[in-house]
């Protein structure tokens, strides 16, 4: 079973002969694949932001895992094979707008996806949130990115997220 996209790693990724990640599909609560699509917030009004939100009506075949608060699905523009999003069922601009129990359920699903990606062959995972326009958020429905990493996928992975500000990233080189 594949991930639903044909793109492999980009040029210079260093992945080479490594086998692809194994599928992580599974459902943690009532099987949402029994319906044609999951309406995350109930009725979607035609003139509301939810009417055009790509996360407010996700076809069931895209859902990898789910719980009562959130869904996991593959990113439509993956940075690496298996790049997964965990999306709250509620239409909120930020995952931090969820009540405490909702945040707990969302992070439990993030942890479950992380474990499955590691078991599927990832060497490590970058977990990130673009929270707000200035932070790079382009879909105003909060979500968490899990980006599987492989040894050698970039020449030097040190610094990770710090590379959003390249002049500050290599702190280990500064005196």
Quick check: helix, strand or coil at residue 125?
Answer: strand
Question: Is 143 an active-site residue?
Answer: yes
How far are the Cα atoms of 11, 96, 105, 166 from residue 135, in angstroms, in the given order? 26, 14, 24, 15
Buried-state track 123-158, b at ≥16 Cβ within 10 A, e below 16: eebeebbbbeeeeebeeebbbbbbbbbbeebeeeee
83, 141, 143, 145: which is the annotated catalytic residue? 143
Q: Which residue in 151, 159, 155, 164 sits closest to 12, CA to CA? A: 155
Catalytic residues: 143
């Amino acid at each position: 079973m594949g991930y639903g996209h044909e793109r492999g790693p980009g040029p210079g990724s260093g992945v080479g002969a490594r086998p692809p990640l194994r599928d992580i599909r599974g459902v943690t609560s009532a099987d949402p694949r029994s319906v044609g699509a999951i309406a995350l917030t109930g009725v979607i009004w035609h003139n509301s932001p939810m009417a055009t939100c790509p996360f407010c009506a996700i076809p069931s075949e895209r859902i990898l895992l789910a719980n009562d608060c959130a869904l996991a699905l593959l990113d439509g523009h993956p940075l690496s094979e298996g790049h997964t999003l965990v999306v709250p069922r509620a239409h909120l601009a930020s995952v931090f707008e969820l009540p405490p129990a909702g945040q707990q359920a969302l992070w439990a699903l993030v942890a479950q996806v992380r474990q499955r990606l590691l078991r599927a062959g990832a060497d490590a995972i970058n977990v990130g949130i673009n929270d707000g326009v200035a932070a790079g958020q382009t879909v105003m429905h909060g979500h968490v990115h899990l980006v599987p990493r492989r040894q050698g996928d970039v020449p030097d992975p040190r610094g990770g997220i710090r590379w959003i500000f390249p002049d500050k990233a290599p702190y280990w080189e500064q005196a």
